Amino acid sequence: MSEDKFPGWHGTTILAVRRGGQVVVAGDGQVSIGNTVIKGSARKVRRLSVGGRDVGGGDVVCGFAGSTADAFTLLERLEKKLEASPGQLARACVDLAKDWRMDKYLRNLEAMLIVTDGAQLFVLTGAGDVLEPEHDVAAIGSGGNFALAAARGLMSTDLDAETIARRAMAIAADICVFTNGNLTVEVISK
């Protein structure tokens, strides 16, 4: 979308850390337009369910960056894919990425997702990517590179996944003006 049509929404850092049989997904709460903070307590990390029950043969946790309405559209589609392929997170993610890339409506959605079931961890993009991150760390959003670098550095310590995620997000919040320290953290084990 051209810059004159897009109002300059910023303000997301989502980080996932896998260690010791757990995956922790953390997201900050800031939403900004330009240099103005619109909200500081947005919840950008969620557990997915279909019909009031967990999907995919168990919990699935997703964090999103980008347009909120676009991300919710993608989360709804992912829930349907998980319902159609219970327990097959990779298949559901690939099917969503195919639709996202090829569907005329979905192709215009501006968001990214981190998705995990506690065993598998994926980053999904509108370019059709379903990426398994190296080093058991993934990050997206405006402060994603800061959080990713901090978490990768902390992976050489004996800290648990949640502590690494929280410390890395604090570092990102200190550096990125579009990231705050108001975290939503979900922990999932397999």
Positions annotated as catalytic residues are 12
HSE-CB at 125 with a 13 A cutoff on CA atoms is 9
> Under 8 Å CB-to-CB from 183, ≥6 apart: which residues?
26, 27, 28, 29, 166, 169
Tell me, rounded to whole angstroms, the distance of Cα 86 from its chain centroid.
21
Cα gap 14→75, rounded to integer Å: 15
Tell me, rounded to whole angstroms, the distance of Cα 33 from its chain centroid.
20
Q: Which of 174, 182, 140 has its CA nearest to residue 16?
A: 140
Name residue, tokens 């990214």: 112
The β-bridge relationship of strands 9-10 and 49-50 is unpaired
Residue 2 CB-density burial (10 A; 0-12 exposed, 13-18 middle, 19+ buried):
exposed
Cα gap 25→89, rounded to integer Å: 16
